[in-house]
Structures are given as C-alpha cells and as structure tokens.
Structure 1
Amino acid sequence: MAIEVFKRHESKFLIDKTIYEEIQDKLLRYMELDEHNRNNQLYTISNLYYDTRDNHLIRTSLSKPKYKEKLRLRAYGIPRDDEKVFLEIKKKICGVGSKRRTKLKLNEAYELITTSNVPKIRDYMNRQVIDEIKYILKIYDLEPKVYLAYDRRAMFSKESRDLRITFDTNIRTRRYDLKLENGDYGESLLEDNQCLMEVKAGESIPLWLSKMLSEYKIFKTSFSKYGSEYKKMLLSNKDLEGEMNKCLKTYQTQYLTHPQLAHQYF
C-alpha cells in the first residue's frame, strides 16, 4: 500500500533553469529518480484546492500562523471519472509539514466533498483519513477555488527515503473550469526560466546537500503555489483591492481583536 501519511521539514528555493540543469548530475551521485521519472521524462501533477467563499484558508495561511491547513484533490496527469486520485489534508505546525491522504475514485471524491456522504469503504481507501476530511468539511463550507498543475522531476536519497527533492516547472493555474478531468491548461504562475525546487527531509539535510546549495548560492524562500496564485489574482483584479488589504492586515486585526493569540504569528 502506498504511504498515506507524511511528515517532513520542507524548504523551498526558486532557481533558474540554468542552475537546475547544472545541479542534476551532482544530485544523482546521491539521489535516484522517482519511478515516475525513470524514463527521464517529467510527469504532470494536477490539483484542485478547496477553500471557503471568503478564502479563509489561504488568507489564514498567508498570515504565517503556527498552524495552518489545506484540502486539495490531486491526480497524476488528467484523470478519468472512474480513475483513482488522492484527497489530501495538508497541515503545517510550527514549520513542520504533514500530509494525510486517501485514495478515492474521482467521482467518489467529488461526491464526498460536495455532499459529505462517505462512499462505501473499499480496500484502497483510508477510513481514518476520510473521517478527518469529513470533519474538515463539517467545520468549513468548502468549494473548489483554483486548479493548479505543474510538471515535476523528483528524486529520493539512495541512503534514506526520508530525503526527497522535487523540481516543478510550467506551473499553471485557472479559476474557472474547475474539474481535474477537463485538462491541465492554465495561466503561467512563474517566469519561463524559473523552477521551484523543494527539499523535504525528515530532520536535517545532509552535509553534501548543504554544501551544494551554498556553492550555487541557492537560498531558501517562502513560496506557496496556491498562496502565490491567490496574491497574483488579487493584484490583477482591481475589484478585489480591498481583499488584498484584508490579507495584508490579518495580523494587525488578529492582534487588536485577540491579543492573546498574537503569539501564533511569530
């Protein structure tokens, strides 16, 4: 059975394609390609992110609290209606990310999210995760908000599966036609020469990787695909200028109305 619960420290780096090409051979001295990349081709991941009508989850996430969560539906490529996908809860607590997910057929996932009705449990499902998802659906009135896809190259450490490095390119998004089965098209989120590199480790990263990052002047950045898309959407939509101000002022509002919670934002 595929791993359905993940807990990792995540670091993100925006690099250009030149650096991306230069470090591949060095990485493969210590890493091996993910099975989806064994033919040296990139594979496509497509996602639907869910949020409330007033974008509560992403606005909370962008305010940098100690705890945040997201719900997304993920597929590899463009799924058919009866093809298995992953329904995932992503959480981050004090900088440590965790992901809990269950397999569902695409039509089962849509039904669960729309109605909160649990499908008949099959051997490919994780009942505990489904119960957690049902609880989230009870707390929040969620709806599909954004489609987000990208092409990925991934690798694992030869010594430990706890170390994983991914490179995402051609990140594209849309806020219409919000169905995974309707194609992986959308507007570009990054510049053509940019690539998002993510290092996911159980604990600290190995010395050889730290030296390589230093050698190529690859510096850590704070980057969320969904968060970046949301901010880009606000900036491009003058009708939502007030929403951007609301997003930027979340901390001040929390501090003024709930000073006892201010510690969550540091």
Structure 2
Amino acid sequence: MAIEVFNRQECKFLIHKSIYKDIENRILRYMELDDYNKEKEFYTISNIYYDTEDNHLIRTSLCKPTYKEKLRLRAYGIPKGEDKVFLEVKKKVNGFGNKRRTKLELQEAYEFFSTGKKPEIKNYMNKQVINEVEYIFKTYHLKPKLYIAYDRRAFFYKENRNLRITFDENIRTRRYDLALEKGDYGENLLQEDEILMEIKTDYSIPLWLCKLLSEYKIFKRSFSKYGNEYEKMLLSNTQLKGEMKPCLNQYLTQPQLIHQFL
C-alpha cells in the first residue's frame, strides 16, 4: 500500500542548471533513483490547488503563521476520468510539515468537490482523510484556484528512505482550464536556468550532504510554488499594484481549522 501520511521537514533551494548534473553525480554515491525515474529522466506531477474566493489559505500562508494548511488534487502525468489521483491535505506547524492523502478516481474527486458529498468509501480510499477533506470544504467553501505542473527527478537515501532529494524544473502554472485532464501547459514560474531542489527528511541531514551544500554555496530559502505564483500574479496586475498586500490582517479573522495535527 502506498504511504498516505508523511511527517517531515522540507528544505528548499534554487540552484542553477549548470551545477545540477554535478550535484546529481555526487549524490548518486549515497542515493538511488525514485521508481518513477527509472524509465525516464523526469516525470510530470500536476496539481490543482483549492482556496476560498478571496484566497484566504494562501494569504494566511504568506503571513508565515505557526499553523497553516493547503488542499490540492495531485496526479502523475495527465489523468483520465477513471484514473487514480491523490487528494492531499498539507499542513505545517512550527516549520514541521505533515501531508495526508487518499486515492480517488479523478471523476470521484470532481463529484466530491462539486456536491460536497463524500464518495462511497472503497478499499483504495483513506476514510479518515476523506472525512478531513469534507470538514475543510464545509469550513472554507473552497473552489479550484490554481493549476501547477512540473517535471521532477527524485532520489532516496540508500540507508534511510525517509531522506529524499527532489529536483523540479519547468514549473508552469495557470488560473484557467482548472482540470487535470486538460493538459500540463501553463506560464513558467521560474527563470529558464533555475531548478528547485528540495531536501525532505524526518531527521537531521547527513554530514556528506551538508558538506556538498557548503561546497556549492547552496543556501536554504523560503519558496512555495503556490505562494510565489500568487505574489507574481499580484505584481503583474497593474490595477492592484500598491493597493494590495499578500498578508492582510482582516483575512485572518475567517474560521481557522484547529483540528488535531497528526
């Protein structure tokens, strides 16, 4: 059975493509390729993020609160109506991340979101996550707001698969055609020569990896695909420039989810 609950820290780095292959060759001494990458260099991940009409979840996230959460629908490649996708709830408390997810057929997920009624629980679903998503939808009245796709190359540490390194390139986004089956096109989020590198772990980073980051002068930075797209959208809208800020206190008065962090 696929892992449905993840608890980990995520460290993000923007690196130049010119050093990407050097870094990959170095980490291959300690790590092995993700199964998705054994047949092709990069595999595509596509997502739809859900938010309120006034973008409350991403606004709150950009304020860097102690607790924040996101809801997204994820597919590997471009799915069809009967294909399995992942419905994911991402949370962060004091910088430590938690992700819970369940499989659904794509059409089941769309019907869940459009009607608000839970699907009939099947053996490939996680009932607890379905109940949690139902509660989130009733609390926030969410709707699809953003499509994000990217091409990923991923590695697992040979000694402990809880350490993972991913490289995401060609990150593209759109706020139209918000359906996974419509294709993975969109506007580029990063510069052409940039790659997003992430280290995901539930424990400390090994010494060899720390030395590698230091050698290449790779420094941790705050980066959210959804958050950066939202800020970019605001800056590109000349009517809103100077009138709107990502963090507005009045939006923090909306209902917050304070259910147990697992």
Please indicate the TM-score interval, normalised by the length of the shorter structure: over 0.9
Partner of 1:55: 55
- Counterparts of 1:142 and 1:105, CA distance in 2: 20
Secondary structure of 1:99's aligned partner: strand
Secondary structure of 1:199's aligned partner: strand
Question: What is the Cα deviation at residue 41 of structure 1?
Answer: 1.6
Secondary structure of 1:208's aligned partner: helix
Report the number of matched residues.
253
Partner of 1:211: 211
Partner of 1:233: 233
Secondary structure of 1:218's aligned partner: coil
Deviation per residue, 1:84-138 (Å, 9 max, x gap): 0000000000000010000000010111122121111111000011001101011
Q: Structure 1 residue 120 and structure 2 residue 120: aligned? A: yes
- Counterparts of 1:25 and 1:217, CA distance in 2: 17
Distance 1:87 1:242, change over 3 A: farther
- Counterparts of 2:79 and 2:146, CA distance in 1: 17
- Counterparts of 2:122 and 2:26, CA distance in 1: 43
Partner of 1:5: 5
Correspondences of 1:148-163 after superposition (within 5 Å): 148-163=148-163
Q: Once superposed, what is the RMSD of the aligned Cα atoms?
A: 1.5
Partner of 1:26: 26
Contact 1:172-1:188 at 8 Å conserved across structures: yes
TM-score (norm 2): 0.94
Q: What code does the residue aligned with 2:156 have?
A: F
Secondary structure of 1:135's aligned partner: helix
Partner of 1:84: 84
Partner of 1:192: 192
- Counterparts of 1:52 and 1:21, CA distance in 2: 40
Q: What code does the residue aligned with 1:31 have?
A: M
Partner of 2:98: 98
Question: What is the Cα deviation at residue 242 of structure 1?
Answer: 6.0
Contact 1:12-1:222 at 8 Å conserved across structures: yes
Contact 1:103-1:125 at 8 Å conserved across structures: yes
Distance 1:236 1:102, change over 3 A: same
Task: Judging by fraction of residues, say which structure has more helix.
Answer: 1
Q: What code does the residue aligned with 2:241 have?
A: E
Partner of 1:41: 41
Distance 1:244 1:203, change over 3 A: farther
Contact 1:235-1:244 at 8 Å conserved across structures: no
Secondary structure of 2:239's aligned partner: helix
Contact 2:85-2:105 at 8 Å conserved across structures: yes
Q: What code does the residue aligned with 1:237 have?
A: N
Correspondences of 1:158-197 after superposition (within 5 Å): 158-197=158-197
Partner of 2:67: 67
Partner of 1:147: 147
Q: Indicate the larger mover: 95-104 or 111-120.
A: 111-120
Question: What is the Cα deviation at residue 254 of structure 1?
Answer: 8.7
- Counterparts of 1:195 and 1:88, CA distance in 2: 24
Contact 2:59-2:248 at 8 Å conserved across structures: no
Structure 2 regions of 5+ residues with no counterpart?
Answer: 254-262
Q: What code does the residue aligned with 2:147 have?
A: Y
Structure 1 regions of 5+ residues with no counterpart?
Answer: 258-266
